[in-house]
Structure 1
């Protein structure tokens, strides 16, 4: 296997203790849902909800261009200078400081900024994929924003985005972009075998069952990163298969720090195990590749038709 140049070092991956930034993470999650739902309301449906995620940029997270009548706009979470920036293709711009404030205040300020730019957009205000979610206009619970940890989170995503894209380059079958889902608040990349899958059971909080079934309409091996929360209280990488083939949970995967979580039904590798290793890139790629191989081999994917040899950059 070819090795890519310019591997990262431990120092390139910031410390990201979930306990220390959980309040900021919860607030940023809700803010991101507001912006994500704006994109959802305006963007034509793309298979597997690929029309709604954000993308990692040189300053933070971006919606990419969103159509609006005969023009378009983009919304950017600048997590380096701590601004929410809304830009339109006819030269308009509005900014909102990212600072400690309730979700309800953030929501109202975003609506005012959109109105100033002539963007009249209505969204469903109950958070998606969150049990007992508080409607944005009523949410005074989530209000904390720590600049240092918001920037650390983005810097960590920059490293992951690069490694995930290297992993993605090995696959020539159908594969998602590397993208950030604001509903589940995770960075993800998903490979497809090309075969149909059994209907997904649904049951995701505040997410229509048909959306989940369309997202998992075909067999997948999916991997990504969570910052922590819910059933896992530490930042971690994950990998799962849908449908999970027989023997998947017992498959031999690597590195040795990785394990199968019965609670989640997924393989897990701690962010700190990657960050503190001699070569974080290689440690993460080892996890991504071995868990994919477990899913593909046990499910009988046609790997010779779906994979390719790596080629060096010119």
Structure 2
């Protein structure tokens, strides 16, 4: 199929709002039942051949081992335990409240006990409203949801290709349910002292110096899909660095700056995949230069670090 098909926010904004909250319900189950990892790597979803997965969880908390999968081809949520038991239900035709009750019921039917400490949205306009009370968000366009998964899958592989060129500590490519973006992050070993007022999520996510690369579908603040990159903490002079291709630019975002390449601009390039990889590389080089990273030592072109293989012997 077409690489990077059209994904205008206006055509699925209501559906996106619903699916985002569906993902937050399941994401909070993942957060409650998974083993904690550094920088919250335990929390995000991963792509599958039909949608998204939490990956297996349970066991250490006394629950059976279980997995929750979004099937965005058949449009069902599927909860499966290690012994083969499965409960599933349709994603379309229901509100967030209905989805929440069905998800909790499916878990209970499989003897999974989950107590969500904060069962309402994170960092969304209705963050004070419990999932169980949200009958407002119920839009679900199956065609656009399938396309959302298809775009995620394509971007996932571009990010995997970009990630291969770095030999240092780097996150998996994963889909964050709280911000609804897909990203991978390169780390230096430089410890960053967060201010005392920083929230626990921020403190853990940015306890080390990072350069993150990703993609999001747009929101009210930036109403178009875009590829992005940022360096945290932001080094002085970052926005003076050049970006590629020509449509890429620096924008102000939450007190800092993001490098962005609009999705529509990438689609118009003669080779969209190469353009996105070039964008990520230019943004990484900008941040790494300004932050003083040893770019040459951390590089591994083609995913190869062995000097004999690298030499072609």
TM-score between the two structures when normalised by the length of structure 1: 0.91
The unaligned stretches of length 5 or more in structure 1 are 1-8, 204-208
The reply on whether 1:98 has 2:91 as its aligned counterpart is: yes
Residue 116 of structure 1 pairs with residue 106 of structure 2: no
The 5 Å alignment of 1:60-75 reads: 60-68=51-59, 69=62, 71-75=64-68
Distance 1:98 1:137 in 2: 16
Which of residues 282, 287, 295 is equivalent to 1:290?
282
Distance 1:129 1:188 in 2: 18
Q: Secondary structure at the match of 1:172?
A: coil
Q: Of 259, 265, 276, which residue of structure 2 is paired with 1:267? A: 259
Tell me if 1:177 matches 2:172: yes
Shift of 1:307: 1.2
- Give the CA deviation at 1:70: 6.3
Instruction: Indicate which of 145, 148, 167 corresponds to 2:143.
Output: 148
Aligned equivalents of 1:277, 1:117: Cα separation in 2: 49
Deviations 1:78-117 (A, max 9, x none): 1111111111101110111010321001100111111111
Q: Is the contact made by 2:247 and 2:265 (CA closer than 8 Å) also made in structure 1?
A: yes
1:136–1:70 CA distance, 2 compared to 1 (3 A): closer
1:281 and 1:201 mapped to 2: Cα distance? 41
Matched, 1:59 2:53: no
Kindly state the Cα deviation for residue 202 of structure 1 after the two structures are TM-superposed: 6.3
Deviation at 1:157, TM superposition (A): 0.7
CA separation of 1:70 and 1:100: change in aligned 2, threshold 3 A:
closer
Output aligned runs, 1:201-280, within 5 Å. 209-264=199-254, 265-280=257-272
Does the 8 Å contact 1:231/1:263 carry over to 2? no
Deviation digits for residues 205-225 of structure 1 (CA, Å, limit 9, x no counterpart): xxxx02211110010000111
Shift of 1:13: 2.0
**Aligned residue among 299, 305, 313 for 1:307:** 299
* Contact 1:200–1:217 under 8 Å retained in 2: no
For the 8 Å contact 1:200–1:212, the answer to whether it is kept is: no
Q: 1:284–1:202: structure 2 CA closer, same or farther, 3 Å change rule? A: farther
C-alpha distance after superposition, 1:243-275 (max 9, x if no partner): 101111221111110111124521111111122
2: distance between equivalents of 1:85 and 1:44?
21
Asked if structure 2 preserves the Cα contact closer than 8 Å seen for 1:53 and 1:181, the reply is yes
Report the alpha carbon displacement of residue 280 of structure 1 after superposing the two structures with TM. Answer: 1.4
Counterpart secondary structure, 1:310:
helix
Q: Structure 1 residue 139: deviation in Å?
A: 0.8
TM-score, normalised to structure 2's length? Answer: 0.92
The residue aligned with 1:136 is 131
Which of 40, 53, 59 lines up with 1:49 in the alignment? Answer: 40
Q: Distance in 1 between matches of 2:113 and 2:251?
A: 44
CA–CA separation in structure 2 for the residues paired with 1:202 and 1:282: 41
Runs of 5+ consecutive residues of structure 2 not aligned to the other structure: none
Superposed CA RMSD: 1.8
Cα displacement (A) at 1:122 = 1.3
